[in-house]
Amino acid sequence: MTMAKRDTYTPESLLAVAVQVFNERGYDGTSMEHLSKAAGISKSSIYHHVKGKEELLRLAIARALDGLFGILQEPGAAEGRAVDRLEHVTRRTAEVLMAELPYVTLLLRVRGNTDTERWAMERRREFDQEVAELLKQASADGDLRADVDVRLATRLLFGMINSIVEWYRPHNGVASEGEQVADAVVRMAFAGLRT
């Protein structure tokens, strides 16, 4: 028998454990049993905090989405030329992804088997759509290369940003590492590699 530890979890610290398990096993492959084991508390203690694993998923996804949609409310995303707003959103999306790494990783991996997952995918599409609109506007302003297809460019831009979750692991939380990555994303996407 495993020794169950006293339940000293806050909703936030329980969420952090759940998200780690979801990312390791996949949401579908995670049972309340797995969550109980990982947290070291009984299932009934978990039910004291949340209705079940889908609520944990919803809370985790909400945290990722709040971070991403929050970007669109920032002055840098709302004022100025579209191309500069697009660059701001690109940089900040990379930053939020790294700051909220496990939460955004989960958001990017959901597959749509439950209502919560379908909601997550829908909201993610809405975010992509907002960025696509910025690209379209920047293109209409003549600030993007004329040979850029907006739909393709949006996909490749997010492909580049989202790929960061595959390899980025923060070391001792040094902010400068994340800044370097965000700089590199913005440089490659907007100025290109060639001199």
Q: How far is CA 80 from the centre of its chain?
A: 25
Q: For residue 176, give every residue at least 6 positions away whose Cβ sits within 8 Å of its Cβ, in sequence order, or none.
A: none
Task: Tell me the three state secondary structure of residue 7.
Answer: coil
Output DSSP code: residue 163.
T
Contact 98, 171 (CB under 8 A): no
Residue in 6, 169, 171, 194 binding a copy of itself, rule: CB under 8 A: 194
Does the footprint of a copy of itself cover residue 51 (CB under 8 A)? no
Does the footprint of a copy of itself cover residue 163 (CB under 8 A)? yes
Binding part of the chain for a copy of itself, among 9-17, 33-41, 50-58, 146-154 by CB under 8 A, reads 146-154
Cβ distance to a copy of itself smaller for residue 68 or 144: 144
Residue in 48, 51, 125, 187 binding a copy of itself, rule: CB under 8 A: 187
CA distance 139 to 82: 9
Does the footprint of a copy of itself cover residue 176 (CB under 8 A)? no
Q: For residue 117, give every residue at least 6 positions away whose Cβ sits within 8 Å of its Cβ, in sequence order, or none.
A: 27, 57, 110, 111
CA distance 53 to 46: 9
Cβ distance to a copy of itself smaller for residue 103 or 158: 158
Report the nearest approach of a copy of itself to the CB of residue 180 (Å). 7
Contact 150, 132 (CB under 8 A): yes
Does the footprint of a copy of itself cover residue 96 (CB under 8 A)? no
Does the footprint of a copy of itself cover residue 191 (CB under 8 A)? yes
Cβ distance to a copy of itself smaller for residue 48 or 155: 155
Does the footprint of a copy of itself cover residue 171 (CB under 8 A)? no
HSE-CB of 177 using CA atoms within 13 angstroms: 11
Q: Return the H-helix or E-strand segment holding 195.
A: none
Report the nearest approach of a copy of itself to the CB of residue 78 (Å). 20
Residue in 149, 173, 175, 179 binding a copy of itself, rule: CB under 8 A: 149
Q: How far apart are the first and last CA of the chain?
A: 64
Cβ distance to a copy of itself smaller for residue 78 or 184: 184
Positions that interact with a copy of itself (CB under 8 A): 83, 135, 138, 142-149, 152-153, 155-160, 162-164, 166-167, 180-181, 183-185, 187-195
